[in-house]
């Protein structure tokens, strides 16, 4: 049988496995191993399946993942999340929808220390939701701003998804992390503008709270010192070329440890808890990566990705049309798959197409992560919404997803802006200093 047809068949089998509820790590590993067995025989398949995961997961560049995860947990224990929300509350609370806007900027600030969107949504839910409910904010506005605000952790560095995309696409992880800064800020400001306009038109959605003096607002800026230190340590060192992303992650994790140290001393078992949560999250990600790597190598033997690229190029279709179709596919997949699995499964297949069409892989990476963000707040999966449900138990899932609708609309506008003006993505990585 033609290897390309074998690849198509096993891609279909994998789809059935995933929709049946099988874990993505096991589904991909099984399909990849059996596919290699069909193409290469049992002994080569067994050898490749046992050596491929270790060979890739032992990569020095992947050490950045547990370090960034650890930094996020330590930042939470350092109280950075609560301080950021309180500062934003003092500056924006008096505006229409001010507390929801404060939630967005608080989430954006915490995203600079935490690369996991679900963790960001869970933490901000605990910090911001009581305040939003206290002042009578509409449930859909409250939960929508927390769930959507959490998605910024996948864009604003340090981003776990950016690291994984860089690993699988063989692109500079430092450049990808820097590329997410301006799109992340665009996201925060566009969310805030939408909330302001909606609450200005209908004040019942998000009533303003009493305005505080300028002195109080200036004093509240001290709450941003922790995150500013971490951003300088991590992104500053990457941008200036002082350190690699892995070295910067190590410095950032140490900086977060110093900031969290006083509170860790006061809380029994806190440091052990941070290490355990870091280990669990890292093990989960690495297990998924290991399974998908076996399947990706199987696809490489089939030649299917390159065949797909050649077919599309010979169709003489406008590259922008192809890009829109691929991004629309991510919008659909995001309703059923988690971000890491979706990224690992699709990028090896579609990246050859993107490269053949002359689209910058860094730009494509940011756009893909942006589409994955949307999947985090759209039904039926919507992981951020399900995580938030554990905090907002008195709000129905329907109201939560409806509350995210406006944010999805803004997200799609932002994607269109980034496609029309890719310089927004490239301006910072293009000016970074490399050794």
Question: Tens digits of per-residue pLDDT, 26-54?
Answer: 888 999 999 999 888 888 888 888 888 87
Q: What is the Cα–Cα distance from 344 to 339, expressed in whole angstroms?
A: 9
The residue-averaged pLDDT of 184-199 equals: 96
- Given a cut of 80, whether residue 278 has pLDDT beyond it is yes
Q: Are 125 and 391 in contact (CB under 8 A)?
A: yes
Handedness of CA 89, 114, 227, 259 (dihedral sign): positive
Q: Name the helix (H) or strand (E) containing 366.
A: helix 361-375
Predicted pLDDT at 149: 92
The residue-averaged pLDDT of 161-177 equals: 90
Q: What is the Cα–Cα distance from 354 to 362, expressed in whole angstroms?
A: 11
Among the listed residues 344, 371, 359, the one whose alpha carbon sits nearest the alpha carbon of residue 166: 344
Predicted pLDDT at 434: 65
Among the listed residues 143, 117, 186, the one whose alpha carbon sits nearest the alpha carbon of residue 411: 186
Handedness of CA 256, 257, 262, 267 (dihedral sign): positive
Q: Two tokens at 231?
A: 């951003």
The residue-averaged pLDDT of 144-165 equals: 90
The residue-averaged pLDDT of 82-107 equals: 93
Q: Are 180 and 162 in contact (CB under 8 A)?
A: yes
Record the pTM. 0.88
3-state secondary structure of 422: coil
pLDDT tens column, 376-419: 888 877 888 888 888 888 888 888 999 999 999 999 999 999 99
Predicted pLDDT at 435: 54
Q: What is the band of 285 on the pLDDT scale with cuts at 50, 70, 90?
A: confident
Predicted pLDDT at 48: 85
Q: Two tokens at 397?
A: 């899932």
The residue-averaged pLDDT of 5-31 equals: 85
Q: What is the Cα–Cα distance from 281 to 269, expressed in whole angstroms?
A: 18
Residues 6 or more apart in contact with residue 329 via CB below 8 angstroms: 346
pLDDT tens column, 293-350: 888 888 888 887 777 777 776 777 788 888 998 898 888 777 777 778 788 888 888 8
Q: What is the Cα–Cα distance from 28 to 345, expressed in whole angstroms?
A: 9
Predicted pLDDT at 176: 93
The residue-averaged pLDDT of 153-160 equals: 89
> What are the domain boundaries of the chain?
61-290+303-431
The residue-averaged pLDDT of 83-92 equals: 92
Predicted pLDDT at 432: 78
- Given a cut of 80, whether residue 22 has pLDDT beyond it is yes
Handedness of CA 107, 113, 115, 118 (dihedral sign): negative
Percent of the chain residues topping a pLDDT of 90: 34
The residue-averaged pLDDT of 237-243 equals: 89
Q: Are 377 and 408 in contact (CB under 8 A)?
A: yes
């Amino acid at each position: 049988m033609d290897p390309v047809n074998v690849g198509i068949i096993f891609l279909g089998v994998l789809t059935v496995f995933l929709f049946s509820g099988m874990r993505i790590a096991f589904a991909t590993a099984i399909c990849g191993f059996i596919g290699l067995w069909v193409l290469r025989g049992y002994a080569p398949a067994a050898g490749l399946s046992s050596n491929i995961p270790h060979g890739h997961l032992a990569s020095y560049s992947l050490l950045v993942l547990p370090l960034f995860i650890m930094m996020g947990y330590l930042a939470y224990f350092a109280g950075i999340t609560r301080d950021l929300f309180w500062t934003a509350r003092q500056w924006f609370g008096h505006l229409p929808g001010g507390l929801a806007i404060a939630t967005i900027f608080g989430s954006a600030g915490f995203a600079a220390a935490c690369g996991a969107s679900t963790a960001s949504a869970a933490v901000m839910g605990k910090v911001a939701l009581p305040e939003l409910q206290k002042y009578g904010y509409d449930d859909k506005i409250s939960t929508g701003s927390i769930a959507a605000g959490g998605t910024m952790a996948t864009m604003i560095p340090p981003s776990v998804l950016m690291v994984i995309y860089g690993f699988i696409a063989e692109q500079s992880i430092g450049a990808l992390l820097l590329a997410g800064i301006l799109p992340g800020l665009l996201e925060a400001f566009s969310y805030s503008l939408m909330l302001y306009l909606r609450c200005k038109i209908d004040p019942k959605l998000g009533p303003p709270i009493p305005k505080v003096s300028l002195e109080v607002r200036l004093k509240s800026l001290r709450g941003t010192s922790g995150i500013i230190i971490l951003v300088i340590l991590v992104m500053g060192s990457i941008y200036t070329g002082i350190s690699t992303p892995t070295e910067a992650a190590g410095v950032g994790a140490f900086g977060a440890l110093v900031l969290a140290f006083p509170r860790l001393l006061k809380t029994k078992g806190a440091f052990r808890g941070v290490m355990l949560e870091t280990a669990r999250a890292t093990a989960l990600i690495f297990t998924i990566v290991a399974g998908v790597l076996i399947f990706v190598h199987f696809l490489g033997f089939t030649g299917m990705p390159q065949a797909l690229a050649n077919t599309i190029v010979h169709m003489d279709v406008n590259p922008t049309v192809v890009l829109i179709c691929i991004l629309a596919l991510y919008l659909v997949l995001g309703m059923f798959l988690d971000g890491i699995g979706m990224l690992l499964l699709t990028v090896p297949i579609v990246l050859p197409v993107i490269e053949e069409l002359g689209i910058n892989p860094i730009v494509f990476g940011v756009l893909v992560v942006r589409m994955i963000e949307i999947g985090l707040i759209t039904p039926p999966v919507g992981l951020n919404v399900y995580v938030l449900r554990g905090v907002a138990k008195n709000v129905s899932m329907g109201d939560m997803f409806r509350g995210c609708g406006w944010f999805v609309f803004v997200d799609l506008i932002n994607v269109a802006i980034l496609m029309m003006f890719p310089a927004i993505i490239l301006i910072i990585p293009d000016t970074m200093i490399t050794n």
